[in-house]
Amino acid sequence: MKTSIPSTMKAVVLTKNGAQPEVAIIPVPQPGKGEVLVKMAFSPINPSDLAFLKGGYGIQKPYPVVPGFEGSGTVVKAGNGVLPKLWLGKNVACAASPKLNGCWAEYMVTTAASCVPFSKKISMEQGSMLFVNPMTALAFFDLYRKTPNPSGKTRGIINTAAASALGQMIIRLGKQQNIPVISVVWREKQISLLKNTGAEFVLNSSDPDFDTELKKLAHRLNATVIFDAVGGEMSQKLLSAAPKSSSLFIYGRLSGDTCEILSGELIFTGNHIQGFWLTNWLHEQGMLKTLLNIRKIQSMINTELKTNIHLQFQPEDISEAIETYTGNMSKGKVLLRF
Amino acid sequence: MKTSIPSTMKAVVLTKNGAQPEVAIIPVPQPGKGEVLVKMAFSPINPSDLAFLKGGYGIQKPYPVVPGFEGSGTVVKAGNGVLPKLWLGKNVACAASPKLNGCWAEYMVTTAASCVPFSKKISMEQGSMLFVNPMTALAFFDLYRKTPNPSGKTRGIINTAAASALGQMIIRLGKQQNIPVISVVWREKQISLLKNTGAEFVLNSSDPDFDTELKKLAHRLNATVIFDAVGGEMSQKLLSAAPKSSSLFIYGRLSGDTCEILSGELIFTGNHIQGFWLTNWLHEQGMLKTLLNIRKIQSMINTELKTNIHLQFQPEDISEAIETYTGNMSKGKVLLRF
């Protein structure tokens, strides 16, 4: 396949920490050894992108920088190496390289190892969201299984910010594996949204009796594995509600940067607290397990790991796209279309 | 051996939550099945006793109650069972039963399984402190060994409130095992105190450049296993100073009840936070390991696990004893003598 590749392209660019992202015309990059050039089709806005835009993310790149951690597209040029040549001409899901510009551009160079060709049953839109959320959902169930369970009893999961794309995947995977999932949302209308998609246990943290209800439910379902994207006061609320010897994984900080943890409780309850970052988890898994996980994801991308798409935007409308996404996260993903 | 046992005794009694402990004359208890009556010799005041007096401890007992979690004495009466008969007449180190009155009395009933006869090389005074601190020190080195160490490099330990009896044991055990220990104290004079006892790395958290110095030292010594008795702001300071993938064990809350944890850091650093409570740890070990640990403790009670004794008090002077202990913790233990 031959495609004529222009010398410049449209890209969303962040010129400095905290600036508004804007569209600029910049040179199309060249793939080096082990790398490919992807003509981008779609790229979602994820919470991790929002954190990156604010400068508060685990990966920082020199400015000016193109944001966007994942997307889909077609490999139009290959650098040296077996894998790049193998991907040439294929439709791939791709993740940005930690050292290079990201996905929010007409073209992106990334390592061939960060690309996975996907089957024709998967649309380019769904293909653009193969990595971040589905992989995080698989990671959570992997952590669930690896968390020691001395009692041997079935344990439940608690997840917060549960109306998100990820939250919905966790509900579906829980059903599939007969693991009860308590979804914590913060708006009344999100309850019916989740119940309509099959969620059994949904609590609204804005309800006055939330603490009591969560405690009752968490004890009834032995919900000792907790995933929290909210932080702030929520983390301690979750720990106080959960049975003893629970494990709290903090993976976001929607309500601010500081978690207030009661050390008195922590000492006597045997609870554990740790952070979760997909990048660290993938690193621990290694290449082979990741490839197996990608396979698993492809087999479930139209069912358990499906993502609802709310709207699509052109790169020129990046500000509106971000606003639409942040104001209506539970309506579904916002995609950039290139 | 026959001893005449009176029907009443002097005991330190706490009549309600938060009250001052006072001396009262109460009946001498009778040992039931599997239990023994110990004529108490000595009992120390430990930080866990202070927490119990304030009502903020993992074990709560109905009032009125005799405090005191550990001590030494002579078994003068045995309930039914093999073990009680075996201990009769022996000098034992004893721990209070979680369901009965404690050690701060002329006589105590506890389970025979909570008593260990000790060799004649150990004084009654040292024998009264065989459990809490020495066992905690062994527990810390057990946790150190069980904390995953993917890099394989030698790791150091950070410990706070390090001028305590426990802090000094950790320093000595670290030396014995070639594990570098960073001791964090909060008063200048505690630095020389610890250096005189052989500590190599001591930092004063009241120093203006404490954060920077701790970070430098923690990275140099790869100090990724952290024991914190302080809480409050200290916990996050320790995590921010330590290398990535550190494990923080919170075992006290000298500076208050709330730890402010930065979730942003937690997510990306791969750090772990958990509480440590000796009671939970002993429960996990089981009886056999605990007996082996008690043996180990006896062999080191005059060296690595020695406790300095500051002063002895009569039970009548309990208020003065507590005051003396809380005001001068690093001078050594305060014992009650019966």
**Contact B272/A267, CB-based, under 8 Å?**
no
**Which pLDDT score is estimated for B283?**
86
Task: Tell the CATH topology of A137-278.
Answer: Rossmann fold (3.40.50)
Q: Is the torsion defined by CA of A184, A188, A190, A194 positive or negative?
A: positive
- Nearest chain A residue to B232, by CA: A263
Question: Do A263 and B267 make contact, defined as CB atoms within 8 angstroms?
Answer: no
Which of B267, B268, B276 shows the shortest C-beta gap to A267?
B276
Of chain B, the percentage scoring pLDDT greater than 70 comes to 99
- The pTM score is 0.90
Pairing of strands B70-78, A258-262: unpaired
Which CATH code is given to the segment(s) B8-129+307-337? Answer: 3.90.180.10
Of A251, A262, A273, the CB nearest to B274: A273
Q: Where do the H-state alpha helices sit in chain A?
A: 47-53, 82-87, 124-127, 132-146, 165-176, 188-196, 210-220, 233-241, 263-269, 278-300, 318-327
Residue B2's pLDDT band (cuts 50, 70, 90): low
Residues in B closer than 8 angstroms to A242, CB to CB, are none
Distance in Å, alpha carbon of B286 to nearest chain A alpha carbon: 14
Burial of residue A247 (CB within 10 Å: 0-12, 13-18, 19+) is buried
What residues in A contact B268, CB-CB < 8 Å? 57-58, 275, 277, 280
**Segment B6-22 mean pLDDT:** 92
Render each residue's pLDDT in chain A as its tens digit; 338 residues: 456 899 999 999 999 877 899 999 999 999 999 999 999 999 999 999 998 998 878 788 889 999 999 999 999 999 999 999 999 999 999 999 988 999 999 999 999 989 999 988 899 999 999 999 999 999 999 999 999 888 889 999 999 999 999 999 999 999 999 999 999 999 999 999 999 989 999 999 999 999 999 999 999 999 999 999 999 999 999 999 999 999 999 999 888 778 999 998 999 999 999 999 998 898 888 878 988 999 999 999 999 999 999 999 999 999 999 999 998 888 899 999 99
How high is the pLDDT of residue B338?
95
Separation between Cα atoms, residue A147 and residue A139, nearest integer Å:
12
Q: How many angstroms separate the Cα of B32 from the Cα of each of A303, B66, B80, B85?
A: 62, 18, 7, 12
Please determine, for residue B124, whether its predicted confidence score (pLDDT) is greater than 80. yes
Within 8 A of A249 by CB-CB distance, chain B residues are none
Q: ipTM score here?
A: 0.85
**Residue of chain B nearest A239, judged by CA positions:** B274
Judge whether residue B56 has pLDDT over 80.
no
A residues 266-325 closer than 8 Å to B (CB): 266-277, 280
| Per-residue pLDDT, B18 | 77
Q: Which residues in chain B touch residue A275, judged by CB atoms under 8 angstroms apart?
A: 263, 265-271
CB-closest option in B259, B265, B280 to A263: B259
Per cent of chain B over pLDDT 90 is 79
| Shortest CA gap B336–chain A (Å) | 27
A178 touches B at CB < 8 Å: no
Chain B residue numbers with beta carbons less than 8 Å from the beta carbon of A239 are none
| CB pair distance less than 8 Å for A253 and B263 | yes
Question: What are the extents of the domains in chain A?
Answer: 8-129+307-337, 137-278
Task: Judge whether B235 is closer than 8 Å to chain A, CB to CB.
Answer: yes
Question: How many Å lie between the alpha carbon of A154 and the closest alpha carbon of chain B?
Answer: 20
- Facing B269 at nearest CB: one of A265, A270, A275: A275
Using CB atoms within 10 Å of the CB of residue B248, give its burial: 0 to 12 exposed, 13 to 18 middle, 19+ buried: buried
